[in-house]
Structure 1
């Protein structure tokens, strides 16, 4: 992801999969504890959906969209940790393993 993007600018923007299909809307951005760089985005999927975490290091913010290099179904089936809380190292490891 571009390093000159303020992570707060991502919130409220549409997230799309590698085919351009809408996944949802960026709800929150999580920073790396050591570097302070944006590491994960929580994407709200659907009206009554949940937040799915996507890695920002492999994603691109272009125009007004966050493009993630995964299929929509993979993102929607990602581990669910809820939002508004700190991701533990174990949860991050689980997400990294999930996304390969």
Structure 2
């Protein structure tokens, strides 16, 4: 997913699974806390069903539709955290594991900054 896409432009777009089967409509977009880049989309899977979180990377925007490279059944079984709330790091980790995606390791500690701030233990 390109980072220059306005997340608001994704809302209301139809979403399709890897086989081209319609899975629903993008209801909300969640941004990465650190970068502000769109990271997850909540897709409403039916009139009376819940929203399912799908990763925007490695999904693709083609025309006016979001194409998610996973089967509908896997998407439907994604952990349900409800929408309209912030995703915690633990919830994101559960979603990454559910989709079998690699999770980037945390950035290395900046020990030099700690020494400069006077927080280094002796």
TM-score by length of structure 2 reads: 0.80
| Aligned-residue CA RMSD (Å) | 0.6
Q: What is aligned with 2:24?
A: 24
Q: What is aligned with 1:84?
A: 84
Q: What is aligned with 1:53?
A: 53
Q: Spell out the pairing of 1:39-50 with structure 2 (5 A cutoff).
A: 39-50=39-50
TM-score by length of structure 1 reads: 0.98
**Greater strand share, structure number:** 1
Shift of 1:38: 0.2
Which consecutive unaligned segments of at least 5 residues does structure 2 have? 101-122
Partners of 2:3 and 2:93 in 1: CA distance: 23
Which consecutive unaligned segments of at least 5 residues does structure 1 have? none
State the structure with bigger RCO (CA 8 A, min sep 6), 1 or 2.
Answer: 1
Shift of 1:57: 1.1
Which structure has the larger Rg?
2
Aligned length, in residue pairs: 100
**Cα deviation code 1:16-48 (max 9, x no counterpart):** 001110000000000000000000000000110
Partners of 1:3 and 1:33 in 2: CA distance: 14
Q: What is aligned with 2:94?
A: 94
